[in-house]
A and B are shown apart, each in its own frame.
Chain A
Amino acid sequence: MTKQTKVWLALVLGLSLLALGSACTKKGEETTNKSDAAGPKVVYKGATGTVTGVVAFAGTPPAAKKIDSSADPVCAQKNPTLETEDTVVKDGKLANVFVYIKDGTTADGKKVGDFQWDPPSTPVKLDQDGCHYRPHVIGIQTNQKLSITNSDPTQHNIHPTPKKNPEWNQSQPNGAPTIEKTFTVSEVLIPVKCNQHPWMKAYVGVMKTPFFAVSAADGTFTMTGVPAGTYTVAAWKEGGANGTEKTMQVKVDANGSAKVDFSFGEAAAAENKGGLQMMPALEFPMMGRSH
């Protein structure tokens, strides 16, 4: 056996072992274990209030783009009018905007992220129905279960592409059991795609605290149980490389209701110079996300 042959045999053997090793890896196995749950923390027991608001779209929204789903006859048959959902506007109000408390302190001067916020026991649901994700944008707490179902008579695969949480990709044929996953690190927002149907996109906002919401079809959102204090509220809309985020300051009084409205669109940018505050790229340890 020549030296060259030996080298190639060693290379093939090495690659075989690597392939075998990777094949033995459990699906969804986490490769990074950095978690937001570091050290014992105190449960917040003080007064709370509510943050409500409306997200508007100023100007003429971009027209939704028609999706060609003919590559999968099931999609074309079940949902023949598939369109993009990046800017869903009705009567000037914008849906699918992820609103969250980005930073701030409670009335007694403590960071809201320094308290312990246990995740709800009820899972957040994400369905694949009509060859698109429903809902399009969701919020979830760290370590809260994400329950993923497939209502389509075709096969999908769910593929989140986070930057801070472990990436995973899992096929889910029609009739396959519900997939349950959790995210351990806060991240705004994680794109989710289906590599079988490349138009399918969803976004998951993972938060350490429960203070987040997604604007409804009428643009409204509500965050309840917010500790009294002063906060930076952020609104994130998909589009472009990393989405667009706007922030505003808000003071939440005990048992009070603070209102904060956002506006997106080119007209909003022109009208609100000095009004809405465009925040520069900042890293907030509480949320673990930079923009």
Chain B
Amino acid sequence: MSRGLNRYAILVACATFFLIIAGALVTSHDAGLATSDWPRSNGQFFPKMVGNLFWEHGHRMVATTVGILTIGLLIFILAKESRSWVRKLGVFALLAVIAQGLLGGLTVKLMLPLAISTAHATLAQLFFCTTVSLAIFTSRSWMNATPIAEEKGSLPLRYLCTAALVTIFLQLIIGATLRHSATWDKQLPTELILAHVGGAFAVTLALGSTGITVLRRHKGISFLTRPATVALTLLVVQLILGLSAYLVRAASPNDPQPLNPMVGVTVAHVACGALVFVTTIVLTLRVYKVMPASDSAIDLSARPLES
């Protein structure tokens, strides 16, 4: 295990989160087509960043930085990491960031078709998930975690976590579709809003029950309770942000331009959604790590090291 690699993976994950925020700012400002060319902006690699070009070209610059960091991460992994599946995940991360860049270019060149814009937003979440996973897999707490057992006769936590994760991911896709289906000066389609609200109920149910189950069954095991607590807290924040985003977004078509309250709240909703997703991934990975598929002959007194 390399502490340097783990710290670098955390750096890449943080940069990816910042990139998601930068991308959300582009969408909320309706800046995706501030320039008609790609990868250059108005024919330049370093254009004058005024108006909405600040957001669009800024997003491209952050994305380029993350791309370079990801190349560095793969080199670091290949140099320091012996586990073949981690090395493969590093390769996957690089391929994902390349695909993400190409999707970003495609969506500009094709003038923001809904399917490609949504795919771009969804792959962003998957890439974030990958970088966070790499940070988890290279951490000391992951290496030193020891197995613990499920309660006999109860629904395995693995299933609950997986269900929550899938539900959140589907909700992210609906949210991405909703965000890209209309610009700030048009009303969002009602059917997609309803689908997203329905998704919010499903996520609340799935993640809420998962988090509460973790807290109830594994009290004192911070390896599990910490991500569960963070996920539940973020879920509450996300629900509040979702309601706020709906209200400001419903009013924005009457505004003369994208105003800061609408931009701030919608971007925060996207960012918090990403955090809910990756926190649930952390919880799920840890559950899979310490809870084998078969819980027979597991020492209940075994405790993983603190993260």
**Do B50 and A157 have beta carbons less than 8 Å apart?**
no
Q: B229 interface residue, CB < 8 Å from A? A: no
Chain B 16-55 interface 0/1 with A at a Cβ cutoff of 8 Å (1 = within)? 0000000000000111111111100011000110111110
B residues 66-102 near A (Cβ < 8 Å) are 88, 91-92, 95, 98-99, 102
Q: B234 interface residue, CB < 8 Å from A? A: no
Q: B187 interface residue, CB < 8 Å from A? A: yes
Q: B258 interface residue, CB < 8 Å from A? A: yes
**Do A198 and B258 have beta carbons less than 8 Å apart?**
yes
**Category for how many chain B residues contact A:** 35 or more
Chain A 71-85 interface 0/1 with B at a Cβ cutoff of 8 Å (1 = within)? 111110000000110
Q: B111 interface residue, CB < 8 Å from A? A: yes
Q: A2 interface residue, CB < 8 Å from B? A: yes
**Do A159 and B50 have beta carbons less than 8 Å apart?**
no
In Å, the complex CA distance between A15 and B184 comes to 29
**Do A159 and B33 have beta carbons less than 8 Å apart?**
yes
**Category for how many chain A residues contact B:** 35 or more
Q: B114 interface residue, CB < 8 Å from A? A: no
Q: A218 interface residue, CB < 8 Å from B? A: no
A residues 13-28 near B (Cβ < 8 Å) are 15-16, 18-19, 22-23, 25, 27
What distance in Å separates the Cβ of B186 from its nearest Cβ neighbour in chain A?
7
Q: B256 interface residue, CB < 8 Å from A? A: yes
Select which of A8, A168, A169 is within 8 A of B95 by beta carbon. A8
**Do B109 and A73 have beta carbons less than 8 Å apart?**
no
What distance in Å separates the Cβ of A172 from its nearest Cβ neighbour in chain B?
9
What distance in Å separates the Cβ of B197 from its nearest Cβ neighbour in chain A?
21
In Å, the complex CA distance between A15 and B109 comes to 13
Residue of B with least CB distance to A157: B36
In Å, the complex CA distance between A74 and B54 comes to 14
Residue of B with least CB distance to A27: B36
What distance in Å separates the Cβ of B167 from its nearest Cβ neighbour in chain A?
25
Query: Given A67-B257, A74-B50, A155-B53, does the pair A2, B88 have CB atoms closer than 8 Å?
Result: yes
Select which of A16, A155, A167 is within 8 A of B102 by beta carbon. A16
B residues 214-258 near A (Cβ < 8 Å) are 253, 255-258
User: CB within 8 Å of B: which residues of A?
Assistant: 2, 4-5, 8-9, 11-12, 15-16, 18-19, 22-23, 25, 27, 65-68, 71-75, 83-84, 154-155, 157, 159, 167-171, 173, 195-199, 241
Given A5-B88, A196-B31, 16 additional A-B pairs, CB 8 A: A5-B91, A8-B92, A11-B99, A15-B99, A18-B106, A71-B54, A75-B51, A155-B50, A155-B53, A157-B34, A157-B36, A159-B33, A168-B111, A173-B42, A197-B52, A241-B186
